[in-house]
Homo-oligomer: A and B are copies of this chain.
Amino acid sequence: MSVVSVKDVAQRAGVSVGTVSNVMNHPEKVTPDSIAKVQAAIDELGFIRNDAARQLRDGRSTTIGLVVLDVRNPFFTDVARGAEDRAADAGLSVILGNSDETVTRESAYLDLFEQQRVHGVLISPLGDISDRLGRLRTRGIPAVLVDRSSSDDSVSSVSVDDVAGGRLAVQHLLDQGWRRIAFVGGPMGIRQVADRLVGAREALANVPDATLEVIETEALSVIAGRTVGAALVARAERPQAVFAANDLVAMGVLQALMMQGADVRVPQDVALIGYDDIDFASAAVVPLSSIRQPAALIGQTAVEILLEEAADPSIARRQVEFQPELVVRASTFGV
């Protein structure tokens, strides 16, 4: 098990370690002749610098930590790709953590990132973690909230207006003539879920004879949706339209409704709209109406802000909010 260090390279090239370091980090300070010798030595020995030592020296790593609620949700992988792309431009890499909607895991990842002295943290938070993020900041690690607006001005955020999204979705259902509406999603502790519900209620407020039933789920997953869908199938009186808190839940509901033996027609018997507009929504059994969010753009923008704050910690925090967009497909096409 051989380990090649700058020292070995320096010896081979017949220069000092300082020069080797300069070749790699400040080539303008070094003779072309030295560059050539050092480069040759590096290639011959297959030297690859030890990042731990480098990080130790300058205090922070070249990595950005990203904590998402659910890696299985294509929305978040799209956010991650946006972030990666922008980070790569700046020579940084992204390490992806999956909190799985669990406070424990979320906290564990934040610890890990702090141990690693990451360049910054992007997080789609579960609860209120402004204290935690404040501490990170005092340690020189900036943080940006992703897919969530911040409650105070101490931290930047990149989000989408979830209340508006919820309003859009339910307004659309009402426009199509449905009155008995159900909201499916949860847990309510997740801000995005709560906000979408608020939006839904707002849309309802203008229509006296409309009702909203709230069916809370344990998670925002296909499985959770399927459970609710099965329960709906079994019921005598079903809602006319369902607004699911995200597309995974919506697809679960859809699967259960259309299952052999159930034969509930969508949208004739029950209309259905989701949220996120993931790629698979348009390919569903019945192509799914949804609320589109600019996922990759969110990731890019978050990294952008993070880099600014990392470069100048005194810069003002920013709250960026994108607007969601209604996408109508067969699952809510007029009766």
User: How many angstroms between the C-alpha atoms of A301 and B77 in the bound complex?
Assistant: 24
Q: A124 at the A/B interface (Cβ < 8 Å)?
A: no
Residues of B close to A48: CB separation below 8 A: 111, 114-115
Q: A156 at the A/B interface (Cβ < 8 Å)?
A: no
User: How many angstroms between the C-alpha atoms of A56 and B48 in the bound complex?
Assistant: 14
User: How many angstroms between the C-alpha atoms of A284 and B50 in the bound complex?
Assistant: 47
Interface string of A273-293 (1 = CB under 8 A from B): 000000110111111000000
Cβ A115 vs Cβ B49 within 8 A: yes
Q: A255 at the A/B interface (Cβ < 8 Å)?
A: yes
- Residues A207-225 near B (CB distance < 8 A): 222
Cβ B51 vs Cβ A115 within 8 A: yes
Q: A55 at the A/B interface (Cβ < 8 Å)?
A: yes
- Chain B nearest CB, measured from A58 CB (Å): 10
User: How many angstroms between the C-alpha atoms of A194 and B1 in the bound complex?
Assistant: 36
Interface string of A236-263 (1 = CB under 8 A from B): 0000000000000001101100000000
User: How many angstroms between the C-alpha atoms of A116 and B62 in the bound complex?
Assistant: 10
Residues of B close to A139: CB separation below 8 A: 1-3
Q: A52 at the A/B interface (Cβ < 8 Å)?
A: yes
Q: A164 at the A/B interface (Cβ < 8 Å)?
A: no
Besides A2-B138, A48-B115, A52-B52, 8 more A-B contacts (Cβ < 8 Å) are A1-B140, A48-B114, A50-B115, A52-B55, A52-B56, A72-B279, A77-B77, A251-B283
Listed by A's residue number, 8 A-B pairs whose Cβ atoms lie within 8 Å are A50-B115, A51-B116, A71-B80, A74-B74, A77-B77, A93-B112, A283-B285, A285-B286
